[in-house]
A and B are shown apart, each in its own frame.
Chain A
Amino acid sequence: MTLVETIAEARRTGDLEPVVERIPYLQWMGIEMGVEDGAVLATMRYGDRLIGNFVHRALHGGTLGALLESAAVFELLHAGRGETLPRIVNITVEYLRSASDRDTYASASLVKVGRRVANVRAIAWQDDPSRPVASAHCHFLV
């Protein structure tokens, strides 16, 4: 099955995992994709290799950027935008709190999907969605 076919199938069934399984980096990072209340929920399973500061047991900031970008990509896919993986133009990540050595979650919302470009915001948290650890806004070609 081609990637386009896998994506089309995932849209039909609502199961995003077959797409995740096609993307080596997401597997390696321990990033999973599910759908809750009609929106994509991305989960980054804790692993020691995600650590950026071994004294404070804090996650590497780059892993949060990767999670936020991935949540935005899958929200676009889930919303039925484009046949294949959307191409990212840019991302701005804002770091709000230190993230500790446990699972991290992210969700994204489509602010505007135009004819050329989509504007997406994403937020990442650990225990409490009202206390985000990082947020991002990104542009994608659609």
Chain B
Amino acid sequence: MSDARVRRFQERFAEAIPHNRALGLQMERVEDDRVVARLPWADHLIGNPELRAFHGGALSASMDAICGASVFVALHQPMRIATLDLRMDYLRPTAPDRDVICEATCFRITEKIAFTRGLAHQGDAADPIAAVTATFMLFRDQGGDLGQHLRGSSDPASEDRS
């Protein structure tokens, strides 16, 4: 992992995608097939005013984004991807006033599909608040506007796999 790569993902993934920016997602780690991001606590993301817990939708949208990001880092060439399905298990309500750490790994890539899984926690990965499994369609014939934005290079492997 390089700081430059995290910065590039921050600029082109977290900030250039309007809903990711609106959620306030911050990329923290970018590895070969894994990304870690932070969803900062925000009062406007509360789903249960009595528990002051995050709304499930804010968590699943963040995990959707992070799982997709893990596919981008795992792919060897830029291409368009689209979420096929996503399952979230809500393991417990979030504690108030604390950020959520979202981690995702792309563990298998085939010709047409990428498989990912992830966890969300509030500081202790051994005590997660949510688990996710998501699959993505790959459009290998479409260079991928987003992929190119993310990679920022016609030869992404040269930098990203080093």
Contact = CB atoms under 8 A, between A and B. Distances in A.
B87 to A, nearest CB: 4
A66 B17 contact: no
B16 A66 contact: no
Interface string A7-29: 00000000000000011111111
A70 B57 contact: yes
A35 B53 CA distance: 26
A49 interface: yes
Nearest to B133: A92
Contacts of B90: 87-90
Contact of A93 (B19, B45, B60, B65): B60
Interface stretch (A56-64, A74-82, A110-118, A120-128): A56-64
Contact of A60 (B50, B61, B84, B85): B61
Contact of A24 (B45, B82, B88): B45
B43 interface: yes
A54 B18 contact: yes
B49 A3 contact: yes
B62 interface: yes
A66 B82 contact: no
A26 B45 CA distance: 8
Contacts of B16: 54
Contact of B145 (A29, A55, A84): A55
B20 to A, nearest CB: 7
A contact patch SS: mixed
B58 A66 contact: yes
Contact of B55 (A25, A55, A89): A25
Contact of B88 (A26, A51, A63, A91): A91
Contacts of B86: 61, 65, 92-93, 95
Nearest to A90: B89
A32 interface: no
B44 interface: yes
B57 A89 contact: no
Interface string A22-44: 11111111000000000000000
Contact of A94 (B44, B47, B57, B85): B85
14 contacts: A24-B43, A26-B47, A26-B55, A29-B57, A50-B22, A52-B19, A53-B145, A54-B17, A60-B18, A61-B61, A65-B64, A91-B56, A93-B86, A98-B82
Interface of B: 16-22, 43-50, 54-58, 60-65, 82-90, 93, 145-146
